[in-house]
Amino acid sequence: MTTPVRQSENIVLDDAVLVERCQKGDASAMHRLIVRYQDRIYNVIHKICQNRDDAAELTQETFVKFIENIESFRGHSTFYTWLFRIAVNLTYNHCRRRVRLPMQSIHAPLRPEQAEAAGRLEAYLAGQGGDDPVQLVQDREIGQIVLRSLACLPDDQRIVLVLRDMEGMTYAEIAEALDVELGTVKSRLSRARAALRDILKSVV
Amino acid sequence: MINEDDKPSLDELLSDYLDGQLSERRHNEIKRMVGHDPELAARLDALARQRDLLQAMPVEKAPSGLAQDILACLERRFILEQYPKITRTSAGAKQLFARRVVTAAAILLPIGVLALVLWQILGPFPLPDGWFGGGRNGGQGLVLDAPAGSDPLPVPTVPYARFSAVLELQTDQTRALRGHLEKVIFTNGLQELCPPPRHEGATWTYVIRGPSARVGALLDDLRDAWSLCGGANLTLHGPEVTQAVRIDRVTIGQIQGLLAQPSDLQRLWTAERFARLNAVGPVFPPADGAVEPAKPVLAGGHEIRDPGAEDQVDASLVILLKRP
């Protein structure tokens, strides 16, 4: 089994120092925190809302809110989860206003290159292909199928799945970021995985 | 075999197992079950592959310049916060309010000007100095129907009384008129209240102060000498220095009528009527039974005087005897 790549443990201390400097109005500390987290925040938001422009705007809004509210950050949670809570809340509100991708759109007839990619993906998920997942998702078509399948999940399930399997957050961090119980995270995650499995099966 | 009823909980267990979230006992239990159940093992493998696939998805990089955009956005917001009142809404409200005020002023101003003009034409008194182009007499006060180019209004040199006026009598028989005037002053018992007359050039000045009744009686007594005068005009002064009405060709009866008015406002109003009336045609010198405007009868009842009012010094009449 693969353990999600974690980066947060190594930078908690640095974050605390930078946050403290931010609270004193140090612009360079703000800049460093933005640069440190902008890609991760953008990636998570993009995976959830699946629109580059929206993701860029929401990322910007996330950091603006972080700086505006840095005074109120008391360190009860890590800066990392606090920042992601802002991002997820903004994205979740954005998703609620947006029209969801209709389920049938994913079942539209596939073009030949898409059909070929779907075949490779099906073989991989069935354990019949020896493809390395990293190599597999380099195929743009496969990446698109995965993202579109993800988009068909309910918002709360998609968010948990993205935070866990793509961002690599622990259950506790997800619970803190979403302000829900740990059991809720577990049930949402298992339902999300099962639903995605069914969607992918139906697509490929 | 997997019981379908257990699927939800089993999915959750497999998901937790995959993420290492189970207790050691549960973990070993699932591990044993997976080892003995190929279908369960396949489901777990599919979940693991799906998870690995998601983890392998390429990380999207934030657009370049995002940090600068964020700082620029913060700067804009900071600037806007410095001027919280210049929001679109409040600025619009202010402009709207200003437009409404200007519109109201544009409507009210002509109406006000028109009202002032009408008041000036039709009202009982012209407006005081400074209200409307500085007054007709160039700021000297309220002068109605005074002949153009006439002398400035005489101002009494005594303190203002309830009735305060300057009577100018043109006569070429100064000596006879003086004699008559001094006689009626004495007969009406006003000599103690009046200072000696002053003589400057061709003008004799008599300052007569006393109760209205006695001054009225003095005027009555002057009727006999009125024929000695070539002309008479009266300048009635109000409580304000700028309030004055000049009545040309004034008659004794008119002066007594003014004396009888109970208030300054009514006295000035009546004086203005006399001034207009006299301006229409020659009234002076009045013969007996000449046109005499009736004494104004004021609506609202009779004047109530206190018992001591008879002796109250409330009238001041300056009489100027001038050679024509």
Percentage of chain B modeled with pLDDT above 90? 17
Q: Quick one: pLDDT band at residue A185, thresholds 50, 70, 90?
A: very high
CB contact under 8 Å between A64 and B20, yes or no, is: no
Which of B8, B57, B66 is the closest to A166 by Cβ?
B57
CB contact under 8 Å between B60 and A43, yes or no, is: yes
- Tally C-beta pairs within 8 A across A and B: 129
* B194 close to B304: Cβ distance less than 8 angstroms: no
DSSP character at residue B195: P
User: In this predicted structure, what is the pLDDT of residue A4?
Assistant: 47
Model pLDDT for residues B172-220, shown as the tens digit of each residue: 888 888 888 888 888 888 888 888 888 888 888 999 888 888 888 888 8
User: In this predicted structure, what is the pLDDT of residue B241?
Assistant: 64
Neighbouring CB atoms inside 10 A of A141's CB total 17
| B window 56-75, beta carbon within 8 A of A | 56-63, 66-67, 69-71, 73-74
Using CB atoms within 10 Å of the CB of residue B112, give its burial: 0 to 12 exposed, 13 to 18 middle, 19+ buried. exposed
Model pLDDT for residues B212-239, shown as the tens digit of each residue: 888 888 888 888 888 888 889 999 888 7
User: In this predicted structure, what is the pLDDT of residue B293?
Assistant: 43
**Which spans in B148-228 are helix H?**
174-187, 212-222
CA separation, residue A24 to residues A17, A61, A70, A182, B75 (Å): 11, 21, 10, 34, 17
- With a cut of 80, say whether residue B156 has pLDDT above it: no
User: In this predicted structure, what is the pLDDT of residue B163?
Assistant: 83
Q: Quick one: pLDDT band at residue B77, thresholds 50, 70, 90?
A: confident
* B116 close to B127: Cβ distance less than 8 angstroms: yes
User: In this predicted structure, what is the pLDDT of residue B104?
Assistant: 93
| B window 14-53, beta carbon within 8 A of A | 14-16, 18-21, 42, 45-53
User: In this predicted structure, what is the pLDDT of residue A45?
Assistant: 95
Tokens 């309910």 locate to A154
CB contact under 8 Å between A56 and B62, yes or no, is: yes
> How far is residue B6's CA from residue B2's CA, in Å, rounded to a whole number?
7
- With a cut of 70, say whether residue B88 has pLDDT above it: no
Indicate the average pLDDT of chain B: 76
Which of B53, B69, B71 is the closest to A146 by Cβ?
B53
CB contact under 8 Å between A165 and B51, yes or no, is: yes
Which of A46, A60, A187 is the closest to B73 by Cβ?
A60
User: In this predicted structure, what is the pLDDT of residue A126?
Assistant: 84
This model's pTM is above 0.80: no
Q: Quick one: pLDDT band at residue B155, thresholds 50, 70, 90?
A: low
Model pLDDT for residues A53-94, shown as the tens digit of each residue: 999 999 999 999 998 888 888 888 888 899 999 999 999 998
> Residue B48 in 3-state DSSP?
helix
Distance between A68 CA and the closest CA of chain B, angstroms: 8
What ipTM was predicted for this assembly?
Answer: 0.86
Q: Please enumerate in sequence order all residues whose Cβ is within 8 A of that of B261, keeping only pairs 6 or more positions apart, or say none.
A: B267, B270, B296, B298
**Does residue A158 or residue B239 have the better pLDDT?**
A158
CB contact under 8 Å between A127 and B42, yes or no, is: yes
Q: Which tokens hold the place of A159? A: 């968010």
Give the number of C-alpha atoms closer than 13 A to the C-alpha of residue B34, restricted to the C-beta side.
18
Q: Which tokens hold the place of B195? A: 């200072």
Q: Quick one: pLDDT band at residue A114, thresholds 50, 70, 90?
A: confident
User: In this predicted structure, what is the pLDDT of residue B167?
Assistant: 92
Q: Quick one: pLDDT band at residue B129, thresholds 50, 70, 90?
A: very low
Model pLDDT for residues B259-284, shown as the tens digit of each residue: 888 888 888 888 888 888 887 765 55
Q: Is the peptide bond before B285 cis (omega within 30 degrees of 0)?
A: yes
> How far is residue B320's CA from residue A12's CA, in Å, rounded to a whole number?
107
